[in-house]
């Protein structure tokens, strides 16, 4: 998902890139609890019938479901912020905090929508200057990536 | 995660190729392809075992194999077809299509996806290697009933661990589908707008999550009974072998719907496409699938009416079983209503879909007959049961898998398949499959038991006809491989939409999906709102 922000006179712009996540943390918690409840109910039912080996597998499975949702929702908090700062194009990325930061001179920036590494793989959006390249928007769909690349190129042209 | 990603940026031209690419891939299309190829290979391995069975049954008496080996063939054929062919094929389709259908860039857990696939070749190597072990491959039937299964030779622990691995792989696949669909839908793609293939797959995933731990627990108790002195299922130690049947079928009946629900989704995509009419009763299809899934957990004992249950139990399981005919009937009605007053054409996917609707319904009806307790006392463990579940699984699940392959092959490869060969494949299959399985109804009604290498002479005629059908059906499937091979290699260019009546997000992507780079990226005005 790409969100665009206008700043002041409409010249400078900022974009926030994030993976699409349809669930909130609290929805996910309730969902995992419901799945685990059903799984434990079945495991418990067989426990009561004198067949105790189902319950440990139910537990393992509930754990796996919980971990899966945690990983995916946590991963969904990744952000890439692309903005103009004076003569610089700044790319910041991280989860909940800025973990890495790249700066490029905006007049030298090249935006490249490269073909996939192997057939059927997604395209790559590369931003770079002076031989340095950063790939952004790996978690976007191809459509979103193309659309964003177009917006960025236009913004770069406008400010030249 | 982010650390790894940013680290990767500085070396973005490093990328594995050749075999390593396939071992390490986390791309949903690559993994989907791997699953489908594995399923195809397993389909032929399981098919070869079926031909050993039918060759032996061509005439009464023993001609080709020993009874022990014959029983290994029936057992391993079932395990290979269920866990190695049909289930991985559905996961392959899920991997390929679900992200495209919901507008997601990939599956939610790509690394788990890689791992859940590569577990499978390992599990099946383990299972198939038992053929060469002392005592031979497991021969007690795929249902693994004790005490018979405990007589398995050196193969026994390998059987149990192979089943554990298959279960782990299925659970991982199911979790991935659930997390993906509940989190990665494109904005605006609400649950009641999901294509039915996605819906039926979510319901399948919930069935897997509810039932696989039960299978894992059941086979674990077999293992402890055999090696650790427990007696869960041994009457001598105070256990009860019938309890295994209860626990196994608590898993086993939902498993049947795991194999067939995604088929309902496929048919619900194909019929409207070639009828050029929207699907009749979308929401009733969703509710019917959910109802079938719920009912599947309260019918299990219809597999064991003859073990001596209280009358109340037999009645309960009979009523719940025949109740499943209601939501299933809703589905068949909706497909027929979709075709009513439509402008149909009969390309290969549609032919297989129509074959599915007619022949799966025959399997459904014979299932109703088996669900009636007093009648089942006569049919139990006869060839009538074999005929029933092969109509459901071969002309049901396998036909829908073939239909889906023809339906999406142009999308995947960018080429149209050879329509003439496709139609020939259909007609050869649909005729031979009935020659193969329909006579088995008669054999069962006349009293021929299942899982026997030799039989009395009064069953000779229909067995001979059935075997002829089997060989024609088996070799006709080579044609399928030829069509796929030709289509991958080349052919008429496919358009993005492929089929005139096709609807849905996956048909708006180019065929094959993204393989282009832009000299100048498209202007935002032309692509904004073009959500993919
Ligand atoms: Cu059943």
In the numeric block, the tokens 């003569």 are attached to: A87
As a whole number, the mean pLDDT across chain B is 91
Contact A68 B175 (CB under 8 A): yes
Mean pLDDT value across residues B122-134: 95
Mean pLDDT value across residues B495-513: 80
Class of domain B29-526: mainly alpha
- Find all residues with CB under 8 Å of B155, minimum gap 6, and list them: B130, B133, B135, B136, B137, B138
**Higher model confidence: residue B510 or residue A47?**
A47
In terms of DSSP H, where are the helices of B276-302?
Answer: 282-295
Q: What is the pLDDT of residues B398-410, one digit of tens each?
A: 999 999 999 999 9
Q: What is the pLDDT of residues B308-331, one digit of tens each?
A: 999 999 999 999 999 999 999 999
Mean pLDDT value across residues B219-229: 96
> What is the mean pLDDT, run by run of 10 residues, along chain A of 160 residues?
71 82 94 96 95 96 97 94 87 92 88 76 84 88 86 76
* Rounded Cα gap, residues B88 and B509, in angstroms: 25
Contact B27 A121 (CB under 8 A): yes
Residue B10 pLDDT > 90, yes or no? no
> In angstroms, what separates the C-alpha of A6 from chain B's closest C-alpha?
16
* B361, HSE (Cβ side, Cα atoms, 13 Å): 14
Chain B residue with minimum CA distance to A76? B183
Question: From residue B305, how far is each of B78, B106, B311, B316 by CA, in Å?
Answer: 22, 45, 10, 11
B521 falls in which pLDDT band (50, 70, 90)? very low
Given this model, what pLDDT does residue A10 score?
Answer: 55
Q: Label residue A121 exposed, middle or buried (CB < 10 Å: 0-12, 13-18, 19+).
A: buried
Residue B195 pLDDT > 50, yes or no? yes
Mean pLDDT value across residues B232-247: 94
Residue B513 pLDDT > 90, yes or no? no
Given this model, what pLDDT does residue B186 score?
Answer: 86
Residue B9 pLDDT > 70, yes or no? no
Test the A interface: residue of B213, B245, B246 with most A CBs within 10 Å: B213
Nearest CA to B26 among B116, B120, B114?
B114
**Higher model confidence: residue A13 or residue B162?**
B162
B219 neighbors B160 (Cβ within 8 angstroms)? yes
Contact B176 A68 (CB under 8 A): yes
- Find all residues with CB under 8 Å of B166, minimum gap 6, and list them: B83, B87, B119, B120, B123
B514 → closest Cβ in A31, A122, A154: A122
Given this model, what pLDDT does residue B11 score?
Answer: 39
With b for 16 or more beta-carbon neighbours within 10 A and e for fewer, the B371-396 pattern comes to bebeebeebbebbbbbbbbbbbbbbb
* B235, HSE (Cβ side, Cα atoms, 13 Å): 4
Given this model, what pLDDT does residue B512 score?
Answer: 67
Given this model, what pLDDT does residue B287 score?
Answer: 96
Given this model, what pLDDT does residue B500 score?
Answer: 85
Contact A94 B2 (CB under 8 A): yes
**Higher model confidence: residue B506 or residue B172?**
B172
Residue B514 pLDDT > 90, yes or no? no
Residue B522 pLDDT > 90, yes or no? no
The answer, for B6 touching chain A at a CB cutoff of 8 Å, is yes
Given this model, what pLDDT does residue B493 score?
Answer: 86
The pair phi, psi for residue B456, each rounded to 5°, is: -70, 155
**Higher model confidence: residue A46 or residue B522?**
A46
Active site amino acids of B: 77, 106, 142, 169-170, 253, 255, 257, 268, 302-303, 328, 331, 450
Q: What is the pLDDT of residues B404-442, one digit of tens each?
A: 999 999 999 989 999 999 999 999 999 999 999 999 999
Q: What is the pLDDT of residues B22-73, one digit of tens each?
A: 898 889 999 999 999 999 999 999 999 999 999 999 999 999 999 999 999 9
Residues of B with Cβ-Cβ distance to A78 under 8 angstroms: 1-2
Given this model, what pLDDT does residue A11 score?
Answer: 56
Tokens linked to B2:
């982010």
Rg value, chain B, Cα: 24
Given this model, what pLDDT does residue B526 score?
Answer: 32
Percent of chain B with pLDDT over 90: 84
The answer, for B216 touching chain A at a CB cutoff of 8 Å, is yes
* Rounded Cα gap, residues B498 and B143, in angstroms: 42
Going from N- to C-terminal start, the domains of chain B cover 29-526
Given this model, what pLDDT does residue B5 score?
Answer: 38
Q: What is the pLDDT of residues B278-308, one digit of tens each?
A: 999 999 999 999 999 999 999 999 999 999 9
Mean pLDDT value across residues B74-103: 95
């Amino acid at each position: 998902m790409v969100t665009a922000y206008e700043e002041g006179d409409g010249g400078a712009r900022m974009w926030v890139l994030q993976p699409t996540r349809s669930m909130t943390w609290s929805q996910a918690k309730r969902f995992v609890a419901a799945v685990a409840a059903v799984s434990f109910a079945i495991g418990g039912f067989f426990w009561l019938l004198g067949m105790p080996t189902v319950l440990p597998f139910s537990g393992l499975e509930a754990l796996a479901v919980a971990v899966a949702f945690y990983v995916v929702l946590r991963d969904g908090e990744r952000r890439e912020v692309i903005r103009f700062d004076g003569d610089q194009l700044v790319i910041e990325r991280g989860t909940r905090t800025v973990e890495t930061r790249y700066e490029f001179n905006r007049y030298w920036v090249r935006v490249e929508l490269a073909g996939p590494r192997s057939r059927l793989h997604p395209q790559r959006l590369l931003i770079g200057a002076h031989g340095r390249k950063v790939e952004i928007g790996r978690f976007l769909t191809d459509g979103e990536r193309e659309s964003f690349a177009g917006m960025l190129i236009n913004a770069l042209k406008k400010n030249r | 995660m982010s650390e790894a990603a940013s680290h990767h940026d500085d070396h973005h031209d490093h990328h594995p190729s050749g075999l390593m690419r396939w071992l390490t891939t986390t791309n949903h299309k690559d993994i989907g392809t791997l699953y489908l190829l594995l399923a195809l290979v397993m389909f032929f391995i399981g098919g070869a075992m079926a031909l050993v069975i039918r060759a032996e049954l061509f005439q009464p008496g023993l001609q080709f194999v020993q009874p022990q080996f014959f029983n290994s063939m029936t057992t391993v054929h079932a395990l290979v077809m269920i866990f190695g062919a049909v289930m991985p094929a559905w996961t392959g389709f899920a991997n390929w299509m679900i992200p495209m259908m919901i507008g997601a860039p990939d599956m939610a857990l790509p690394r788990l996806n890689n791992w859940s696939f590569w577990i499978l070749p390992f599990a099946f190597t383990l299972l198939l290697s038992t053929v060469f072990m002392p005592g031979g491959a497991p021969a007690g039937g795929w249902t693994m009933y004790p005490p018979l299964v405990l007589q398995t030779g050196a193969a026994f622990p390998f059987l149990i661990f192979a089943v554990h691995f298959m279960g782990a792989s299925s659970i991982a696949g199911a979790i991935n589908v659930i997390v993906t669909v509940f989190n990665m839908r494109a904005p605006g793609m609400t649950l009641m707008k999901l294509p039915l293939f996605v819906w039926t797959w979510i319901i399948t995933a919930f069935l897997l999550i509810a039932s696989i731990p039960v299978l894992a627990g059941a086979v674990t108790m077999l293992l402890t009974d055999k090696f650790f002195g427990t007696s869960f299922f041994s009457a001598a130690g105070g256990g009860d072998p019938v309890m295994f049947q209860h626990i196994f079928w608590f898993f086993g009946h939902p498993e049947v719907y795991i194999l067939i629900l995604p088929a309902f989704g496929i048919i619900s995509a194909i019929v409207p496409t070639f009828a050029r009419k929207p699907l009749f009763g979308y929401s009733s299809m969703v509710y019917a699938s959910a109802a079938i899934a719920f009912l599947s957990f309260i019918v299990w004992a219809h597999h064991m009416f003859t073990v001596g249950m209280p009358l109340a139990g037999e009645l309960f399981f009979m009523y719940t079983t025949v109740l499943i005919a209601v939501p299933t009937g809703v589905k068949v009605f909706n497909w027929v209503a979709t075709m009513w007053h439509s402008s149909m054409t009969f390309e290969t996917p549609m032919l297989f879909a129509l074959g599915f609707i007619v022949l799966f319904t025959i399997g459904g009806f014979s299932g109703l007959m088996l669900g009636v307790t007093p009648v089942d006392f006569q049919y139990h463990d006869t060839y009538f049961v074999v005929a029933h579940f092969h109509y459901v699984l071969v002309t049901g699940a396998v036909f829908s898998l073939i239909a889906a392959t023809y339906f999406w092959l142009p999308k995947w490869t960018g080429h149209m398949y050879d329509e003439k060969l496709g139609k020939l494949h259909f007609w050869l299959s649909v005729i031979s499959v009935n020659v193969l399985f329909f006579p088995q109804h008669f054999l069962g009604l006349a009293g021929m038991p299942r899982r026997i290498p030799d039989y009395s002479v009064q069953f000779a005629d229909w067995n001979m006809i059935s075997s002829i059908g089997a060989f024609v059906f088996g070799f006709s499937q080579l044609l399928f491989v030829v069509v796929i091979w030709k289509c991958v290699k080349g052919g008429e260019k496919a358009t993005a939409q492929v089929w005139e009546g096709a609807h849905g997000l996956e048909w708006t992507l180019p065929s094959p999906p993204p393989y282009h780079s832009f000299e100048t990226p498209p202007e935002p005005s032309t692509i904004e709102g073009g959500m993919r």
